[in-house]
Structures are given as C-alpha cells and as structure tokens.
Amino acid sequence: MSTNFYEFTYILSSTLDEEARKAITTKLDSTITSKGGEIVETDEWGLKSFAYPINKQTSGYYVNQYFNAPATVVPALEKVIKIDENIVRFMVLKYDNKMKKHYELAKKGALPDIFAVDVEEEA
C-alpha cells in the first residue's frame, strides 16, 4: 500500500481547557499512527478569531498537521472526528507534487514572494 502525504487542519472549540484539547489531539494522533501513518509535523496555531461565527463562537483553537499515511487512514480519521462534537471544522488535503514542492520550499524559507516583485513592477 503506497503512502500519501496529507495536510490536516482542524479547529477545536474555544470552550475546551488545556487537558481536553490534549486529549483530543492525542486521540487523533493515535488514530493516524495506529493505521500505519507517520506524523511529520504538527503546528498548533492556537486561538484565532474566526472570520464569521461558527456555532455561535467567534474563535477557535487551530491545529495544523502533516502526515504520511496509506489511504485507508482518512475515512477512519473522519469517523473519529464526526463523532466528536468539540471538533468544529476539519480539512484533509492530499498533497500532489506541486504542493509538496511548496511545502519543501516553505521549510527552507525559500518561498517565492509575490509581493516582492510588486515594487519594481510599476513601469
């Protein structure tokens, strides 16, 4: 079974305390690893305010993860998420080659900046 590279972003309800959050993140992590996945990077953005209210809340705790896993992990993950009502939104993206290259460049800090070109463009 070949593994794919996924990006997984999810939002936890802002009413949870630290331990409840930890419990959910570890539960999701173990769901991934138990099916043969391997987590590459986890980036917790923390509490961010929403652009529009979700479930009457105006902010949420964002977690961004990258992992390698076979394709069977994703439905299992979604099942766990749908049961838990503290996970407000989630998104799993499968990365193709372009996106992977973008990710590599971002790690090195060598992303092409579109705004840098702006200054000299006015001709």
Partner 1 sequence: MLKNPAHPKKGQLRERECLFSKAGVVYVDYKDERIIQRFTNDQGKILPRRVTGTSAKYQRQLTRAIKRARRLALAPFVAENLR
Please report, as ranges, the residues that interact with partner 1 according to CB under 8 A: 9, 11, 48, 50-52, 54, 60, 62, 64, 89, 91, 93, 98-99, 101-102, 105-106, 112-118, 121
Nearer Cβ to partner 1 (20/105): 105
Q: What is the largest CA-CA distance in the chain?
A: 57
Cα dist. 40→6, 21, 48, 67, 89 in Å? 10, 20, 23, 5, 21
Task: Report the 10 Å Cβ neighbour count for 17.
Answer: 7
> Shortest Cβ distance from residue 111 to partner 1 (Å)?
8
Nearer Cβ to partner 1 (3/57): 57
> Shortest Cβ distance from residue 1 to partner 1 (Å)?
26
The H helix count followed by the E strand count for the chain is 4, 4
Nearer Cβ to partner 1 (33/57): 57
> Shortest Cβ distance from residue 18 to partner 1 (Å)?
22
Nearer Cβ to partner 1 (25/33): 25
> Shortest Cβ distance from residue 36 to partner 1 (Å)?
27
Whole-angstrom distance, CA of residue 45 vs CA of residue 48: 7
Centroid of chain to Cα 23: 17
